[in-house]
Structure 1
């Protein structure tokens, strides 16, 4: 120490070194931190806050407005914004706040409850809009880094990070329909994050944050996002038609299990059994037959007697959900070949032209 005291230059160097260590100045930023900062600064301006006003009746039946809040993401320079259907459901008024604080009245362009996707539009100058680019959800891997940007609890422009925890999850939409191939992530998602983007490390949107699993209502590290490829599948129709045209078979189906087939003494072990047919629907027009009688198997009462679908377009059908997933990927007007086993024996190949399912929520463009 005596030598140091006698050397003012060394004293200055040591003092600055201690100060740098103590304040963290000398710590180099990690590559991951730099990536987080870059992506946030680049993309956060493209994430908006959406305020929805819903009219409700109070205890005395007086109409009172109730506000809700969610997130959205700008997808082009024309002012189209992607969000969740449940963020804007039943709204009488929609207001979008950009990251720069500017507010715009938004109109609902289209919505699809089945995928919990909606599109709204604002009339804003192109120079005020930052577009978040879309990637692909086709080749995602568990363990891959992801970022979520949104407005949890109304706190704008919040960034959280995590990984893809699982793929191929199933999730019930607010209307009860089953969403397939949902992304699970541990990136913190809370109320208000809904409709915001899930982003990969290259800055591409790979999903739309939609829900969390939590007994408390706050994030416990189990969040879900709609894959961007699912969004792309309905997006064009939502913008052009206001709704997505789903194919319609006109039949209620039930999975035929091996135990049920054995108890009913059927010549097949698995398939999708037709329970009920819509009058005048595609299945009925093609000559298929639905159930006609009741049968008790164990504690279950089944409607039996209908045709059993065992193949669709040459592919084996093992259960009703598998068959419906196949149909869901088609469009109205597509023709499918079904191999069916009749209840009283015999097989047939039947061609069915799919109809269009009436939408539960159609909004035409104004």
Structure 2
């Protein structure tokens, strides 16, 4: 057996074990300290020498095989940085809505996410998260809870602002620029899916400029499509770029199972920036309007009325106090019944607004979207077979 000798055996130079070469790792001269030792002392020295050898082996192996903590990749560092920076600005929203049926009134609980947009406690979320709620509670990342009051909403874009009153100023999320987004760009979603607070998911921008039809039948224009996992409870939370800026509000998913399948939609932050000031100041969004009752044209109607175009808006009536009347847009004078509805024909036909062709009242709304009080918009009409361009001063109306 290595490192042992038979009791009473004084033949210590025996090299049958083959260790003499290995023992040489002990520095020369170390044994000279033991010159003149007795037979028993020399045996002790051999045992000491063997023990030191194995100790050295264990130390070397420990140095070689000690596990080391791997360094973070660049991508991981970005993920961590974004989460640490933005998660304190993301809140959990819980609601209570009173439901009435034929027999009783009972509470229904709801949940969603939101983003702090002002240090004083204004929180941005989706309208459908707080719609009809009799009670709204906001929970911060540190667990503090506050009752929230409704400030304002725009159902057309599914946006709402609520307000809490914290003891100290909060850290708001930074708003980015959704006009500069590109398909393939990495994005993050932070929210509270299924009630799991402050959950981070990652993905890319899958498409831009998508129209989104909500459950209520409203169409939200130019939304962002992403494959970052968005689940129930994420609604109202931020979609974030790698700089830690909010570029959208996570709003809806396409799903057959109730959970994420990689097709989510976010309202671009450009829309949010336009809406927030009105929501905080007025509680609603003021929009540019013409003040007309119009009828979208189609081929058969144009043929029946012998109109010169097949696409446009036939102006039936004009509100006398509206911008359209001030600009000289004319309504019809001859009543005609179409599918049970009476319209007036003989008025102007609007074919473009602000240089954009129009074929529906929704097209007119889109063309006026984002216009400010006092701006002048060019409206092109056909009157008595001639094209005219009228200048309409913009007025905003709730």
1:97 and 1:289 map into 2 onto residues whose CA distance is 54
1:311 aligns with 2:361: no
1:352 and 1:49 map into 2 onto residues whose CA distance is 45
Partner of 1:346: 386
Equivalent residues in 2 for 1:176-325, closer than 5 Å? 176-253=217-294, 256=297, 266-268=307-309, 270=311, 272-274=312-314, 276-277=316-317, 279-280=319-320, 282=322, 283=324, 286-289=328-331, 292-293=335-336, 305=345, 307-313=348-354, 315-320=355-360, 321-325=362-366
What whole-Å deviation, never above 9, does each CA across 1:43-89 have from its counterpart, x for those lacking one? Answer: 112111111111111451x2212111111111121111111111111
Partner of 2:162: 120
Structure 2 CA distance for partners of 1:213 and 1:253, relative to 1, 3 Å:
farther
Structure 2 CA distance for partners of 1:13 and 1:163, relative to 1, 3 Å:
same
TM-score by length of 2: 0.76
Q: 1:132 aligns with which of 173, 178, 191?
A: 173
What whole-Å deviation, never above 9, does each CA across 1:274-303 have from its counterpart, x for those lacking one? Answer: 26446546346644225954679xxxx997
Offset of residue 346 of structure 1: 3.3
What whole-Å deviation, never above 9, does each CA across 1:307-343 have from its counterpart, x for those lacking one? Answer: 3222334x2525335443111222455443322113x
Partner of 2:81: 38
* Structure 2 stretches lacking a partner, 5+ long: 1-18, 23-52
1:15 and 1:353 map into 2 onto residues whose CA distance is 78
TM-score by length of 1: 0.82
What whole-Å deviation, never above 9, does each CA across 1:190-245 have from its counterpart, x for those lacking one? Answer: 11101101110000111111111112221111111111110000111111111110
More displaced 10-residue stretch of structure 1: 329-338 or 194-203: 329-338
> What SS does structure 2 have at the residue aligned with 1:216?
coil
2:132 and 2:395 map into 1 onto residues whose CA distance is 28
Offset of residue 143 of structure 1: 0.4
Offset of residue 164 of structure 1: 0.5
Are the equivalent residues in 1 in contact too, given 2:295–2:316 (CA < 8 A)?
no
Structure 2 CA distance for partners of 1:97 and 1:316, relative to 1, 3 Å:
closer
> What SS does structure 2 have at the residue aligned with 1:207?
strand
More displaced 10-residue stretch of structure 1: 207-216 or 325-334: 325-334
> What SS does structure 2 have at the residue aligned with 1:41?
helix
1:31 and 1:228 map into 2 onto residues whose CA distance is 27
Q: Which has the higher contact order (CA 8 A, sep 6+)?
A: 1
1:56 and 1:159 map into 2 onto residues whose CA distance is 33
Are the equivalent residues in 1 in contact too, given 2:289–2:365 (CA < 8 A)?
no
1:329 aligns with 2:370: yes
Partner of 1:362: none
Offset of residue 269 of structure 1: 5.6
Partner of 2:26: none
2:301 and 2:60 map into 1 onto residues whose CA distance is 87
Paired residues, number: 341
> What SS does structure 2 have at the residue aligned with 1:34?
helix
Greater Rg by CA: 2
Are the equivalent residues in 2 in contact too, given 1:249–1:281 (CA < 8 A)?
no
1:48 aligns with 2:115: no
Cα-Cα RMSD: 3.1
More displaced 10-residue stretch of structure 1: 346-355 or 27-36: 346-355
